[in-house]
Structure 1
Amino acid sequence: MLNALMMVSNAFISLSYFIIASLLLLPFLKGKQKTPLVLVTILVFFSCALGHGGHVLLLLEQGHQTRTSLLLPLQVGIDLSTAMIAGIYIALRHSYASLINGPLLLTQTQDQLTETLDVLAHMNENLESMVQTRTMALSKANEQLEYEIAKRKQAETASQQLLEQSEQQAQLLRTVIDSTPDWIFAKDHNFRYIFVNQGYASALNQTPEMMLGKDDLELGFPEELVLGNLEQGREGFRADDQRVLAGQIIHNPHDPATDANGSLHIFDTQKFPLFDAKGQIFAVLGFARDITRHKQAEKALQESEGRLQAILDNSPAVIYLKDTEGRFLSANRQFQTIFRLSQTEIVGKSNHDIFPPALAAAFHANDQSVLQAGAAIQWEEEALQEDGLHTYLSLKFPLFDADENAYAVCGMSTDITERKQTEVALQQSEAQLREKARQLEQTLLELRRTQTQLVQTEKMSSLGQLVAGVAHEINNPVNFIYGNLIPAGDYIQDLLQLLALYQQHYPKPLPMIEAEIAAIDLNFIVADLPKLLSSMKTGAERIRQIVLTLRNFSRLDEAERKTVNLHEGIDSTLLLLQHRFKAKPDQIKITVLKDYADLPLVECYAGQLNQVLMNLLTNAIDALEEKYAEEPTQIALPTIHIQTEQLNSEWVRIQIADNGAGIPEAIQPRLFDPFFTTKAIGQGTGLGLSISYQIVTETHGGKLQYQSTPQQGTTFVIDLPLRHLHKSHGK
């Protein structure tokens, strides 16, 4: 009885180890668990299965013989080898786990299985020790039957404990197998289930016990899935089972099956033959993993890729993909149409296989630049087509794998040949338009100059006539007054001398005369009358000087170029502006500093040059008043500094500087443009500086320049040749 129990327990334990080893072997063969530790684990379990199987054979032989045969030492050796392999496995297990810093098996179920196997290995060691002890006892019992009888009860008790432990191990193994969501099952030669895990039974809304002894048709699977469809050339479950029972290993990565709700699922199924102790196949062991979602995702991805390819093929741009070596991986329809190549003729080819050497080298260099930069780059590239050389605007960017390593270059090229041709034509048209615009601008400038010259001529003519007329009209009465002042003075002196004689010879005048002398304050009249005549003479002289200045300023009688004294023109202009230099309640006092050098006479148009001086001095006065209006306390001494100097034997210079508001930088380039002014409407015509520039540069062949700093002041510089040079200078 004890031998029978031990044979049953060892047979069950051997089968359990064999099943566990098979469960580990399947992922290993599929490549999902190919690690040294998994291989060692499989060997350990197969070794344990062989060890317990050997115990069964040993007990069978001992049941027929009365003495121990050579199988006992052989079995002891196998047990010791198994223990050694298990010890090595346990030792390596912890070291390998620390190196990979993670779980030894891929899933939580396999972790639990490992723990269970550790417990089984420990229990196996105890069992083997107990079996070895019992075997030795049985050997001695052959010689001492009485001792065996005495110890039988003790052995039966130990066997009962071993049986209970085996049942616990089997129950634990069953729990591990039932915890996996995969379908695990075994079928006999009649295709009826002899083993089903809980995951499989739950999917069909049944229990494992309800499924045992039934085949696939009885469980409700469609006949088409079980038996196949010959018309469609599709085999079913039964054909796969027959092959496995014939000794084949079946792997079907796309195996359809229905669940309890009739929903069709796709399984990755593997089936292995199970062998009995005699090496005969007695069952089919199957493992099926539901990959429906994975297949659905693959299908969706394929559909998405199809839609993307359709978009790429309908794009007018040339789109292509190359690997890091420059070989084409794919190209859209536009690429194929332009270069008259099919997809199969493009894939795997390099740039040099499709394009001329020069273009191929340029394309490859651009591709490598993108890979090195690791970012998108845009170029203009040329490609030779049947109708000639085309220009493409190409955007290329790298593609990266999960480790952020570039594995390909994607390019999108748009034909811009027509645009480039249009740009060239547009540039040519723009050049022609610019030339026409330049000519029109030159014409407009000439018209403006002509206009300003006419305005200046008319202005100067009118001003000269006005000034000359006023001077003439004033000059006549002034000359009359001035000419009569001398004899009037002589007459007054004679009368005063006569009065003195009367006072000397008639010291006592009549009372009426004395009263009149007191009334008119004769003594004051006698003392003040010469002063009054002197003041009148001074006034007449001043009027004569102003008249002369007006005549000098207008130079109406000097229309031709003549040699003149520049200082006289400057002084005449200052005299006319004298009223703007004096301090008034609403006007600042301006100090004029004159720094004259000894200048020779200059050949010029004096009237026009005086107009230039008038414009520059007027602008300087306006700048000082503007700054004073903005910052009345910031300008300590408003000053205009006039300086002359002889540069060399050919040129003289006049500088007019002020410490006023300065010229803003924004308007400086347009300072000499006709009709340009920053003054309010009615206060400026915009012709002063433009006319002055023409008079200095064009009429006199000189230079008119300026230096200005905002809020610090402006200096105008007039360079004039001593003699007419018959040429003009630009700005």
Structure 2
Amino acid sequence: MRRRMMDNQQEDSGQRPDRGEAGERIIRRGAQSGVALKAAIVGGGSACENLIMLLGGERKSRLNLDILGVADPSDDAPGMVLARKMGIFTTKDFIELYKLPGLNLLIELTDSMAVREKMIRTKPLEVSSIDHRGARLLWDLIQIEEEKRELQLEAERSITKERDWCQKVIDSLPDRIMVLNQDYTIHSVNRTFVKETGLEENEVVGRRCFEISHGIGGPCLGEGGDCPLRKVFDEGATCTVIHSHKGKDGNASFEEIMATPIFGQDGKVIQIIEGIRDVTRRVLLERELRESEEKLRQFLESAHDIICIKDLEGRYLYINPEAASSMGVMRESAVGKTEFELFPEKLARQMEAHDREVLRSSKTVSFTERLREGPGKMRHFHTVRFPILDDQGQMVSLAVIARDTTEQVRLQEEVSWNGSSAPGRMHF
């Protein structure tokens, strides 16, 4: 009574007595739920046969129900025939069923009022009974349980099929794949990981990732590259890092690790999947490229020649310090402008015509250009223009290299003038 009152109070207060703390459903069973049912069937017709077949196999153990015997006046009744085949006790007189050891349930399937009344009147007190109407309810409950079981098995088959498909996808990837738990232990790996490491899956599953990948006793920190696992668990976002390893020969190798979170139903990260690929060649090429770019930058910045790069519409993309000094402009202010915004119109048109010649022919072309800086003062330049092509062979910009030849021209003019005033001198 006290328990019932407590349950009523819970229901009145909106609480759910059939739910656990985490919200899961609690299946409440009576005190007799643990007692095995030892049943005998009175009436060996087709209903008996169907019930015996329904209770066969593993279903019998799940329901904790065992058929001890069957009684029917006819030995040829289908339920009697099946019972004998299955080694179940049979008799023509259901009174004999009372002698079966452990019997605690009689199931009446005759649909006979006389048989039912006699069974109720004569059965032992400790033996319960249900008639054919109650048996129908039992049948329906067993069918419902069977349908539920089939749905559960179908769900398990679907989950297994999906899991196997996911594993096939992971196994087909060329990168080494590890699925990791929060404590750094390896949950699973793909075939590429097994092949490239030479370790079997059972040798790595359950061990910590840093033991397998780096041979160290703790998470990866320092010069070799920080571990992305903790960051992914904390932030719930994909993280990519580069780890370096030094081989036995002393040469460094590099691996790119992309760690991606796996979320549970509550939206929290429960595992991460790490994709690992060797990027040694890429890292070394990038390093060589940076070194080459730095050398080129130093060359361009320190060159005494004027060096410019333009786009295909004549706008300056780059000018070196010597070009900025010769043009009398700040480098930042010249970038993005054309010749017409920086030079006199006559010179700008001449330079534009020279640019068009390169754009038309896609070849290197040399020109002599002059710049008047004031009354009686002229500067001379020898310029070389050539196309810059992309990896498809298409022109993307053009370069201009100009050398100030003013002094050279002046000396040549002096030599020429002096030579013309000295009879008998040979000129080259």
TM range (shorter): 0.5 to 0.7
2:283 is equivalent to residue 290 of structure 1: no
Q: Distance in 2 between matches of 1:341 and 1:223?
A: 58
Q: Which of 405, 419, 422 is matched with 2:408 structurally? A: 419
What CA distance in whole angstroms lies between the structure 1 residues aligned with 2:279 and 2:335? 32
Closer/same/farther in 2, CA of residues 143 and 281 from structure 1, 3 Å limit: farther
State the AA in 2 paired with 1:291.
Answer: V
**In the alignment, structure 1 residue 188 sits paired with structure 2 residue 181:** yes
Distance change in 2, residues 1:152/1:173 (3 Å): closer
Deviation at 1:283, TM superposition (A): 0.9
Q: Contact conserved, 2:369 with 2:382, CA < 8 A, in 1?
A: yes
Q: Say if 1:247 and 1:281, in contact at 8 Å, map to a contact too.
A: no
Partner of 1:392: 381
Q: Which residue matches 2:226?
A: 236
Aligned counterpart, 1:256 = 243
Q: Does 1:213 align with 2:202?
A: no
The answer on 1:406 being equivalent to 2:399 is no
Task: Indicate yes or no: 2:365 matched with 1:377.
Answer: yes
User: Is the contact made by 2:186 and 2:205 (CA closer than 8 Å) also made in structure 1?
Assistant: yes
Residue type matched to 1:183 in 2?
A: R
Matches within 5 A, 1:27-426: 144-145=140-141, 163=157, 170-171=163-164, 173-219=166-212, 221=214, 226-229=219-222, 236-237=226-227, 240-252=228-240, 254-258=241-245, 264-313=252-301, 315-339=303-327, 344=332, 346-383=334-371, 388-426=377-415
- The Cα of 1:392 is off from its aligned counterpart by 0.7
Alignment of 1:437-586 (within 5 A): none
- Extract unaligned runs of 5+ from structure 2: 1-23, 29-136
CA shift at 1:346, angstroms?
A: 4.7
Q: Post-superposition shift, 1:300? A: 1.0
Separation (CA, whole Å) in 1 of partners of 2:344 and 2:215:
62
Task: Give 1:345 shift.
Answer: 5.2
Greater helix share, structure number: 1
CA separation in 2, counterparts of 1:282 and 1:146?
A: 38
Q: How has the CA–CA distance of structure 1 residues 189 and 402 changed in structure 2, closer, same or farther, with 3 Å as cutoff? A: same
Cα–Cα, structure 1 residues 383 and 195, in superposed 2: closer, same or farther, change >3 Å?
Answer: farther
How many residues were matched structurally?
291
**Within 2, Cα distance between the matches of 1:208 and 1:263?**
28
Superimposed CA distance per residue, residues 426-456 of structure 1 (whole angstroms, 9 cap, x where no aligned partner): 44345446xx56xxxxxxxxxxxxxxxxxxx
Partner Cα separation in structure 2 for residue 344 and residue 225 of structure 1: 50
Q: AA paired with 2:284?
A: Q
Shift in Å, 1:397:
1.6
Cα gap change, 1:304/1:173 in structure 2, threshold over 3 Å: closer, same or farther? same
Shift of the alpha carbon at 1:408? 0.8
| Contact kept in structure 2, 1:256 and 1:266, CA below 8 Å | yes
The letter for the 2-side match of 1:414 is R
Q: Which amino acid aligns with 2:394?
A: N
AA aligned opposite 1:255:
I
Output the CA distance in 1 between the equivalents of 2:163 and 2:246. Answer: 28
Residues 142 and 412 of structure 1, relative CA distance in 2, 3 Å threshold: farther
Partners of 2:407 and 2:414 in 1: how far apart?
A: 10
**1:201/1:211 contact within 8 Å kept:** no
Once the two structures are TM-superposed, the CA of residue 296 in structure 1 deviates from its matched residue by 0.9
Structure 1: stretches of 5+ with no match in the other structure: 1-59, 65-140, 438-731
Change (3 A) 1:150 1:295: closer
Indicate conservation of the 8 Å contact 1:255/1:267, yes or no. Answer: yes
1:379 Cα offset (Å): 1.5
Q: Tell me how far apart the structure 2 counterparts of residues 342 and 374 of structure 1 sit (CA, whole Å).
A: 30
Contact 1:257 1:266 in 2 (8 A): yes
Distance 2:213 2:333 in 1: 51
Q: Deviations over 1:3-26 (max 9, x none)?
A: xxxxxxxxxxxxxxxxxxxxxxxx
Task: Mark the CA change 1:149 to 1:321 in structure 2 (over 3 Å): closer, same or farther.
Answer: closer
1:663-715 deviation digits (Å, cap 9, x = unpaired): xxxxxxxxxxxxxxxxxxxxxxxxxxxxxxxxxxxxxxxxxxxxxxxxxxxxx
Partners of 1:256 and 1:264 within 8 A in 2: no
> In structure 2, what is the Cα distance between the partners aligned to 1:224 and 1:344?
53
Distance in 1 (alpha carbons) for counterparts of 2:192 and 2:200? 9
1:642-680 per-position Cα deviation (integer Å, ceiling 9, x unaligned) = xxxxxxxxxxxxxxxxxxxxxxxxxxxxxxxxxxxxxxx
Q: TM-score, normalised by structure 1?
A: 0.34
Tell me by how many angstroms 1:410 deviates. 0.7
Label 1:147 to 1:196 Cα distance change in 2 as closer, same or farther (>3 A): closer
CA contact (8 A) 1:395 1:412 kept: yes
Residue identity in the other structure for 1:412: I
In structure 1, distance between residues paired with 2:298 and 2:266: 61
Q: CA deviation at 1:298?
A: 1.4
Q: Distance in 2 between matches of 1:408 and 1:224?
A: 54
Structure 1 vs Structure 2: percent identity of aligned residues? 19
TM-score calculated relative to the size of structure 2: 0.54
Q: Give 3-state SS (helix, strand or coil) of 1:219's partner.
A: helix
Kept in 2, the 8 Å contact 1:309–1:332? The answer is: no
Contact kept, 8 Å, 1:203 with 1:260, in 2: the verdict is no
Q: CA deviation at 1:273?
A: 1.9
Which residue identity lines up with residue 365 of structure 2 in the other structure? I
After superposition, the Cα gap between the structure-2 partners of 1:403 and 1:236, relative to the gap in structure 1 and judged at 3 Å, is closer
Q: CA deviation at 1:416?
A: 2.0
1:348, distance to aligned residue in structure 2 (A): 3.6
Which deviates further from its counterpart, 356-365 or 278-287? 356-365
Q: CA RMSD in A?
A: 4.4
1:297 Cα offset (Å): 0.8
Rounded Cα–Cα distance in structure 2 between residues aligned with 1:337 and 1:152? 87
1:405, 1:259 → 2: CA distance? Answer: 41
Q: Deviation at 1:224?
A: 11
Task: Supply the AA of the counterpart residue of 2:193.
Answer: Y
Please give the secondary structure, in 1, of the residue aligned with 2:208: coil
Q: Say if 2:258 and 2:275, in contact at 8 Å, map to a contact too.
A: yes
